[in-house]
Chain A
Amino acid sequence: MIDKSIIELVLLSAVSNGAEFAEVFVENNVKNSLSLINGKVESSNSGVDFGCGIRIINKDRVVYTYTNKVNKENLIRLAKEGARALKGKSQIKNIVFSDLDFDKLYIPKKEFDKRAIVEMLRGGSSVCYNFSNQITQTNMGYMDSKQNVLIANTNGLFAEDERVRTRVMISAIASNGDEKQTGYFGPGALKGFEFYEEINIEEIAKEAARSAVTMLNARECPSGKMDAILDNGFGGVIFHEACGHGLEASGISKNASVFAGKIGQQIASEKITAIDDGTIAGKWGSINIDDEGERGRKNVLIENGILKGYLVDKFNGSKIGMEATGSSRRESYKNIPTSRMTNTYIASGKDKKEDIIKQTEYGIYAKYMGGGSVNPASGEFNFAVNEAYIIRNGEICEPVKSATLIGKGAEVLKNIDMVSDNLALAEGMCGASSGSVPVCVGQPMLRVKNITVGGRG
């Protein structure tokens, strides 16, 4: 995207006041999106994000500057301006680049086709309407992006990568008079258009319609402390919020996490093994290389309840004396990269799904979960439940709606007492200091003892 000789000049300008390290991140991101309301295309947009971020690091100080005026003079000017925030003499005289060699996890096969996806989403919309006359609206969305990045730094790293992603958002709205409920799914992948040959949009749409209608006819969820069974797939949001964010080196390096200083300690029930794996071919949260040029990898975070490692970027890693784990991510050239999750999940255990339900006297069964958030310093988290049922005497009973589950990460990890063997992952977007990045959450069905359920019933 930019000539190596220019990049070298920019990097040398960036370290001209004695910085230890400088990095250039150039991005060209071609984006497409569209939306259908009630089966008709409501909007279609496309365009290009383009720009360059320059990061300069000296000891504990980070200087970051970015621009979309990407030409030699302007980049050198910005690099020099950035360097002025530091004082000293240049230590680095020249840079010998070597091209980073890395494996592509997946090669996209088919070009994106907006017309074809419109047909599929329209089909999905019809399926929703046909499912029940209580479905009054559908709302479908689509996005694809082809992000080309160039990452180079003063250590000689030179890497270019292409990330091709696509996702659909499928919502069905059920209504009777004033009451409205939504069923939603958002499958996506680090793949080309062939992804839509692997999933069945009509089936997903039908499930969204079923969920909306079920919730429309559900009573209010009870409140208070009770046992909760969280189903597989998006249920993994509990680990993402309760623990995942707390393992990011950005918080660990400031001691702003309940998990700081606890490596080697039992922090979770023995049934918990948790993994962050950026190397699953074609998965939504996967990465060939991270946004500072480290190869993606599979990191065991917790093994049988014992904390094994953190998610580490180079900057925070050097503060806490740990190696980078291929976890440094950013939304775009406008963000300073930092430690983030990729595909994070609780591994399958040995319990059986049926037994978990059978052995629960009273509680709620959360079939589908929504998003959540956490304060990593205190570990206090929350997440929404989109579809839930009461469990009574070991049986799934009537549906209940509008519940949020809250707790403290350190406590809830110890209160997971059953973990089944049906691991599944689900796609989402995760927002934090370096922007919004695609991630997967995941888990097999599991049970949490005595968690606070906030409903209105």
Chain B
Amino acid sequence: MEIKKIKEEIFEKAREVGFLESEIYISQSSSFKVSVYKSEIEKFQNSESGGLCFRGIIDGKMGYYFSEQVENINPYEIVKGARENAILIESEDEEEIFAGSKEYKNFENFDEEIEKLSVEEKIKMAFEMEELVKGEGISVNSSTVAKGKTKTYIFNTKGLELEKESCYILAYIEAMATKGEQTKEMGKSKISVSLKDFDYKKICYELKKDLIASLGAEPIESGKQKVLLKNEVFADLLSCFVGNFYAENVQKGFSRLKGKIGEKVGVDFLTITDNPFLKGGLDSCNFDSEGVATYEKKVIEKGILKTFLYNLKAAKKDGVSSTGNGFKDSFKAKVRTSCTNFYVEKGELSFESLIKEVENGILITDVAGLHSGTNSISGDFSVACEGFLIKNGKIDKPLNQIVMADNFYDMLFKIQKIGKDLEFYSSIASPSIIVSNVNISGI
């Protein structure tokens, strides 16, 4: 695709059909993946994909159209499609094609070392992972190493031209063990944007240890418990409710945080940050999908709600500036809102100290059914989980077949301690956290 040539053609056609301003967003990705099973390569994948998304303003409304047919781009079809979509819009919110920020902070998040890694080296890693986990009654269902890179371009009729490139490397391993009648399957993954942070062996040791420890799990009696939510579990919960911090959801009445800026929304030692310049961060970037420069901000500081996350449209509506959080889910999608690297700031206690602190309660190590068991609007959730009993300050027997039910907003006030084990399994992260008085259903 000759971008420069095609973009002028599309912009011209857009003007012809009545678009005042327009934008072309282009994404080009490639990926590789190898999975091994029983010491043989099972799956080997290679791909290239991408396409373009056009959007433009006509009569104050923004119309979109996307295409993956990059071999055969028809500018007229694209702008005609976008025009039909624009005409349907009834929302009166003001739309904008952005001329650019004054300054974009210099930031590189592309590790050439990942690109240089040969196919053979990646295959070797996948075999290594399988070897590390199997044995002692454990069979490995699949061991996968993948990498990918994406290049993104934004061009618009206000003269903005931006591009960025990102890449990642990922390890994923899934294994199974059986004890008596009980079979337990568990998976762990590690994704990194820099090769030196890519500790794929660590997840193998953890998987083996956790899988063996979880065998023989059983439910406990229902009741209220003090729970220690492992770092990745609290991060999973946070990711279900992060949309409540997005201004566009607040404005539409889909968030209970409406009108609460400056108010206390959690315990006074809770701070949540959105940091697009986190070193090694999976979602680090210096501009968003609208071309707005990004910056670091505290969303909750010492329990006080400081700001919502804004894209251009929502910012205009509230009479503020965009926080650089206008992102698309994929190149095809409409610009909405997204956090970047979004995390609970760490406290002082180690994981071991947290266990001691709980004394008697439950450690939750995994949750299932978050997509269905959470009500993002009310904050209610009821999710299947597993973990361990904590007895006299020590980890005791494994638990499964229990349900944890609570409310996210209430929980922010019931936090008792925040650990220091902040770890990024995805771009939304947290340290382990103790929460009191949580409903657990078992037998």
Give A residues with C-beta under 8 Å from B.
28, 34, 36-38, 40-51, 60-71, 78, 81-82, 85, 114-115, 118, 136-137, 139, 173, 175, 178-182, 221, 223-225, 254, 256, 258, 334, 336, 370-373, 375-378, 380-384, 401-404, 406-408, 452-456
Q: Which residues of B contact A48 (CB under 8 A)?
A: 66-69
Residues A334 and B368 in contact, CB atoms below 8 Å apart: no
Instruction: Tell me the bound Cα distance from A334 to B46 in angstroms.
Output: 10
- Contact of B131 with A by CB under 8 A: no
Q: How large is the interface on B (under 10, 10 to 19, 20 to 34, 35 or more residues)?
A: 35 or more
Q: Which residues of A contact B205 (CB under 8 A)?
A: none
Instruction: Tell me the bound Cα distance from A105 to B69 in angstroms.
Output: 29
Instruction: Tell me the bound Cα distance from A106 to B346 in angstroms.
Output: 58
Instruction: Tell me the bound Cα distance from A174 to B68 in angstroms.
Output: 40
Q: Mark B297-311, 1 if CB is under 8 A from A, else 0.
A: 000000000000000
Contacting A372 at CB < 8 Å: which of B85, B372, B407? B372
Residues B400 and A380 in contact, CB atoms below 8 Å apart: yes
Of all A-B residue pairs in the complex, the 3 with the closest CB atoms, nearest first, are: A454-B403, A47-B66, A377-B185
Stretch at the interface among B275-283, B380-388, B421-429: B380-388
Stretch at the interface among B49-57, B98-106, B149-157, B158-166: B49-57
Closest to B30 in A: A67
Extra contacts, 11 of them, besides A47-B332, A65-B46 (Cβ < 8 A), are: A37-B252, A43-B64, A47-B68, A51-B49, A82-B44, A139-B254, A373-B369, A381-B384, A382-B369, A406-B401, A455-B405
Q: Mark B65-78, 1 if CB is under 8 A from A, else 0.
A: 11111110000000
Given that A42-B91, A378-B183 are contacting pairs, would A69 and B373 also be in contact in the complex, using a CB cutoff of 8 Å? no
Q: Which residues of A contact B333 (CB under 8 A)?
A: 45
Instruction: Tell me the bound Cα distance from A85 to B51 in angstroms.
Output: 27
- Contact of B392 with A by CB under 8 A: no
Q: Which residues of B contact A223 (CB under 8 A)?
A: 222, 403, 405, 439-441
Instruction: Give min CB distance, B239 to chain A, whole Å.
Output: 16
Q: Which residues of A contact B368 (CB under 8 A)?
A: 373, 375, 380, 382
Instruction: Give min CB distance, A113 to chain B, whole Å.
Output: 11
Instruction: Tell me the bound Cα distance from A453 to B373 in angstroms.
Output: 12
Q: Which residues of A contact B409 (CB under 8 A)?
A: 178
Q: List 15 A-B contacts (CB under 8 A).
A: A49-B68, A68-B70, A69-B71, A115-B88, A179-B378, A224-B441, A376-B185, A380-B368, A383-B369, A402-B378, A402-B405, A404-B369, A404-B405, A456-B380, A456-B439
Q: Which residues of A contact B71 (CB under 8 A)?
A: 68-71
Most chain B CB within 10 A, of A65, A115, A378, is at: A378
Q: Which residues of A contact B85 (CB under 8 A)?
A: 34, 44-46
Residues B44 and A173 in contact, CB atoms below 8 Å apart: no
Residues B405 and A50 in contact, CB atoms below 8 Å apart: no
Residues B42 and A61 in contact, CB atoms below 8 Å apart: yes
- Contact of B406 with A by CB under 8 A: yes
Instruction: Tell me the bound Cα distance from A256 to B37 in angstroms.
Output: 13
Instruction: Tell me the bound Cα distance from A401 to B141 in angstroms.
Output: 38
Closest to A254 in B: B141
Contacting A377 at CB < 8 Å: which of B66, B183, B219? B183
Instruction: Tell me the bound Cα distance from A360 to B65 in angstroms.
Output: 54
Instruction: Give min CB distance, B90 to chain A, whole Å.
Output: 4
Residues B372 and A45 in contact, CB atoms below 8 Å apart: no
Q: Which residues of A contact B51 (CB under 8 A)?
A: 68
- Contact of B210 with A by CB under 8 A: no
Instruction: Tell me the bound Cα distance from A48 to B380 in angstroms.
Output: 37
Q: Which residues of B contact A408 (CB under 8 A)?
A: 401
Instruction: Tell me the bound Cα distance from A34 to B63 in angstroms.
Output: 11
Q: Which residues of B contact A406 (CB under 8 A)?
A: 369, 384, 401-403
Instruction: Tell me the bound Cα distance from A47 to B68 in angstroms.
Output: 8
Contacting A85 at CB < 8 Å: which of B44, B222, B253? B44
Contacting B48 at CB < 8 Å: which of A44, A67, A256, A407? A67
Q: Which residues of B contact A64 (CB under 8 A)?
A: 43-47
Given that A42-B91, A182-B377 are contacting pairs, would A384 and B369 also be in contact in the complex, using a CB cutoff of 8 Å? yes
Residues A258 and B65 in contact, CB atoms below 8 Å apart: no
Give B residues with C-beta under 8 Å from A.
37, 40-51, 53, 63-71, 81, 84-86, 88-91, 141, 176, 182-185, 219, 222, 252-254, 256, 332-334, 368-369, 371-373, 375, 377-378, 380-384, 400-407, 409, 439-443
Instruction: Tell me the bound Cα distance from A335 to B67 in angstroms.
Output: 19
Residues B88 and A455 in contact, CB atoms below 8 Å apart: no
Residues A178 and B256 in contact, CB atoms below 8 Å apart: yes
Residues B372 and A85 in contact, CB atoms below 8 Å apart: no
Residues B40 and A66 in contact, CB atoms below 8 Å apart: no
Contacting B334 at CB < 8 Å: which of A28, A43, A377, A456? A43
Residues A383 and B405 in contact, CB atoms below 8 Å apart: no
Residues B219 and A45 in contact, CB atoms below 8 Å apart: no
Q: Which residues of B contact A182 (CB under 8 A)?
A: 375, 377
Contacting A60 at CB < 8 Å: which of B42, B45, B184, B405? B42
Q: Which residues of B contact A69 (CB under 8 A)?
A: 48, 70-71
Residues A402 and B401 in contact, CB atoms below 8 Å apart: no
Q: Which residues of A contact B184 (CB under 8 A)?
A: 377-378
Given that A334-B47, A382-B383 are contacting pairs, would A61 and B141 also be in contact in the complex, using a CB cutoff of 8 Å? no
Residues B64 and A45 in contact, CB atoms below 8 Å apart: yes
Instruction: Tell me the bound Cα distance from A370 to B373 in angstroms.
Output: 8
Most chain B CB within 10 A, of A375, A404, A452, is at: A404
Instruction: Tell me the bound Cα distance from A114 to B63 in angstroms.
Output: 14
Closest to A402 in B: B380
Q: Which residues of A contact B334 (CB under 8 A)?
A: 43, 45
Q: Which residues of B contact A42 (CB under 8 A)?
A: 89-91
Q: Which residues of A contact B185 (CB under 8 A)?
A: 256, 375-378
Residues B40 and A60 in contact, CB atoms below 8 Å apart: yes
Instruction: Give min CB distance, A428 to chain B, whole Å.
Output: 10
Q: Which residues of A contact B405 (CB under 8 A)?
A: 223, 402-404, 454-456
Instruction: Tell me the bound Cα distance from A180 to B400 in angstroms.
Output: 30
Instruction: Tell me the bound Cα distance from A50 to B403 in angstroms.
Output: 42
Residues A67 and B369 in contact, CB atoms below 8 Å apart: no
Q: Which residues of A contact B63 (CB under 8 A)?
A: 44
Contacting B384 at CB < 8 Å: which of A51, A71, A382? A382
Q: Which residues of A contact B84 (CB under 8 A)?
A: 44, 46, 114
Most chain A CB within 10 A, of B50, B219, B380, B403, is at: B403
Instruction: Tell me the bound Cα distance from A115 to B49 in angstroms.
Output: 32
Residues A46 and B42 in contact, CB atoms below 8 Å apart: no
Residues A137 and B254 in contact, CB atoms below 8 Å apart: yes
Residues A453 and B375 in contact, CB atoms below 8 Å apart: no
Closest to B442 in A: A452
Residues A85 and B41 in contact, CB atoms below 8 Å apart: yes
Contacting B47 at CB < 8 Å: which of A49, A66, A175, A375? A66
Q: Which residues of B contact A139 (CB under 8 A)?
A: 254
Residues A401 and B384 in contact, CB atoms below 8 Å apart: no
Closest to B55 in A: A45
Residues B253 and A68 in contact, CB atoms below 8 Å apart: no
Q: Which residues of B contact A137 (CB under 8 A)?
A: 252-254
Given that A47-B67, A61-B42, A456-B382 are contacting pairs, would A373 and B47 also be in contact in the complex, using a CB cutoff of 8 Å? no
Residues A181 and B64 in contact, CB atoms below 8 Å apart: no
Instruction: Tell me the bound Cα distance from A453 to B439 in angstroms.
Output: 12
Most chain B CB within 10 A, of A137, A256, A408, is at: A256
Q: Which residues of B contact A118 (CB under 8 A)?
A: 88
Instruction: Tell me the bound Cα distance from A373 to B443 in angstroms.
Output: 21
Instruction: Tell me the bound Cα distance from A412 to B50 in angstroms.
Output: 44
Q: Which residues of B contact A60 (CB under 8 A)?
A: 37, 40, 42
Instruction: Give min CB distance, A82 to chain B, whole Å.
Output: 7
